[in-house]
Amino acid sequence: MDIKTYGVVGSGQMGSGIAQVAAMSGVDVIMNDIKQDFLDVGMGYIKKSLERIVKKGKMTEADMNAVLGRITTTVDLKDMGKADYVIEAATENEEIKYDIFRRLDEICTPDIILGTNTSSIPIGRIAAETKRPEKVIGMHFMHPVPVMKLVEVICGIATSEETFQVTWDLSEKFGKTPARANDFPGFISNRILMPMINEAVFALFQGIGSREDIDTVMKLGMNHPMGPLELADLIGLDTCLAIMETLHDGFKDSKYRPCSLLRKYVEAGWLGRKTGRGFYEYE
Ligand code: CAA
């Protein structure tokens, strides 16, 4: 299947990153969000990221402009009807995602695959909102999307092998290495990553170590590029909490209970880098 136009719903840190890597691979991208302001912020992220790549000498300015020229923005979801493949990268909220999928199912012709970048909501549940469950799949990028090599491809119970293969091939076209996961809460990535982050929050909560010491142990002792608390700030503490809730609800196992300190931070609006404060403070 030749994907010439890729539709991206959502222009936040994930949606804009996905739009960027798609455009860098040579496909045309239509990026949608509910407000032009959000789209402008997303385009700002993309420009900044591309300028970084140009500065490194890994891309010419002309190529950067060509990449930017391949991305169009729209506040009208109906424009997704022009895309050959659509990925949803909206906020990690089940009702919002279900609504988007119900609307995309009306807008896009039945042959179009609808992917989701959800980090933990079951693919089968999202697929059930559509009349094309065999064409619904998880295409889960990692943050920061331009840098991270992985795409986790998640098949729901009804996802067809053809849908899987198209998504796998598209991930490779975008310069990523795909890995296949089945549809269980958190898939592979967050089933393993989030309990580690949650445990780091417990370690902080119980006074086992300071934020710096916890992060230093994992960075220097385990060679992780970032400590778990720094990483939580990068991902967003609201997202971390939402994923822990999904694991807890999905498995009904108390080992996945979110640490109450994580919940407290989220309630205080300390969501990490995006709000200027999480476990650390940012400019
Ligand atoms: N756009 C383009 N390039 C970027 C970039 C961006 N947004 N951010 C970083 N880079 C580039 C830098 O220019 C640099 O390039 P070179 O190697 O060519 O010099 C390279 O990436 C490394 O960046 P920095 O030197 O600025 O910083 P660093 O070495 O500390 O790396 C990091 C930063 C890549 C974020 C690294 O710390 C890291 O890998 N952290 C872990 C990230 C991670 O675990 N992500 C997954 C989160 S989980 C998730 O996303 C899934 C989910 O469902 C929650």
pLDDT tens digits for range 178-227: 999 999 999 999 999 999 999 999 999 999 999 999 999 999 999 999 99
Measured distance between the N- and C-terminal CA atoms of the chain, rounded to whole angstroms: 45
The predicted pLDDT at position 140 comes to 98
**143 catalytic, yes or no?**
no
| Maximum distance among all Cα pairs of the chain, rounded to whole angstroms | 55
Whether 272 has a pLDDT exceeding 80, the answer reads yes
How many Å lie between the centroid of ligand 1 and the Cα of residue 170? 22
In sequence order, the β-bridge partners of residue 88 are 9, 116
163 vs 166: CA distance, rounded Å: 5
Closest C-alpha to 42, from 57, 52, 53, 31: 31
Q: Are residues 163 and 199 in the same domain?
A: no
Last residue of a domain, one of 137, 152, 182: 182
Question: Do 149 and 24 fall within a single domain?
Answer: yes
Q: Does 280 reside within a domain?
A: no
Q: Can you tell me which atom of ligand 1 is nearest the CA of 143?
A: 50
CA distance 176 to 179: 10
In terms of residue numbers, what domain contains 258? 190-275
pLDDT digits (tens, 9 = 90+) for 76-135: 999 999 999 999 999 888 999 999 999 999 999 999 999 999 998 999 999 999 999 999
Cα–Cα distance list, 108 to 136, 224, 243 (Å)? 12, 41, 29
pLDDT at 255: 97
pLDDT value for 236:
94
pLDDT at 120: 86
Q: What is the pLDDT of residues 225-266, one digit of tens each?
A: 999 999 999 999 999 999 999 999 999 999 999 999 999 999
Q: How far apart are CA 117 and CA 156, in angstroms?
A: 13
Distance 253 CA to ligand 1 centre (A): 32
The total of structural domains in the chain comes to: 2
Catalytic residue among 140, 189, 198, 230: 140
Q: Kindly give the residue spans of alpha helices, DSSP state H, lying in 110-253.
A: 123-127, 161-173, 189-205, 211-222, 228-235, 237-251
Mutational pocket test of ligand 1: of 91, 139, 147, 188, the residue with most ligand atoms within 8 Å of the beta carbon: 147
Alpha-carbon distance 172 to 151, whole Å?
9
Distance 124 CA to ligand 1 centre (A): 31
Q: How far is the CA of 60 from the centre of ligand 1 (A)?
A: 21
User: Is the CB of 259 within 6 Å of ligand 1?
Assistant: no
Q: Is the CB of 21 under 6 A from ligand 1?
A: no
Q: Are residues 117 and 23 in the same domain?
A: yes
Instruction: Give yes or no for residue 1 having a pLDDT over 80.
Output: no
| 147 and 228 both lie in a single domain | no
* Position 222 in a domain: yes
Residue 75 shares a structural domain with residue 170: yes
Helix axes 189-205, 260-267, angle to 10 degrees: 90
Ligand 1 pocket check for 196: Cβ under 6 Å:
no
Question: For ligand 1, atom 51, which residue shows the shortest CA distance?
Answer: 142
Helices 61-69 and 13-24, axial angle in degrees (round to 10): 110
Both tokens of residue 199?
């445990």
- Predicted confidence at residue 2, as pLDDT, reads 87
The tens digit of pLDDT for each residue in 128-185 reads 999 999 999 999 999 999 999 999 999 999 999 999 999 999 999 999 999 999 999 9
Nearest 5 degrees, angle CA 10-CA 145-CA 261? 80
Does the pLDDT of residue 72 top 80, yes or no? yes
- 248 an active-site residue? no
Compute the distance between CA of residue 109 and CA of residue 94 in angstroms, rounded to an integer.
23
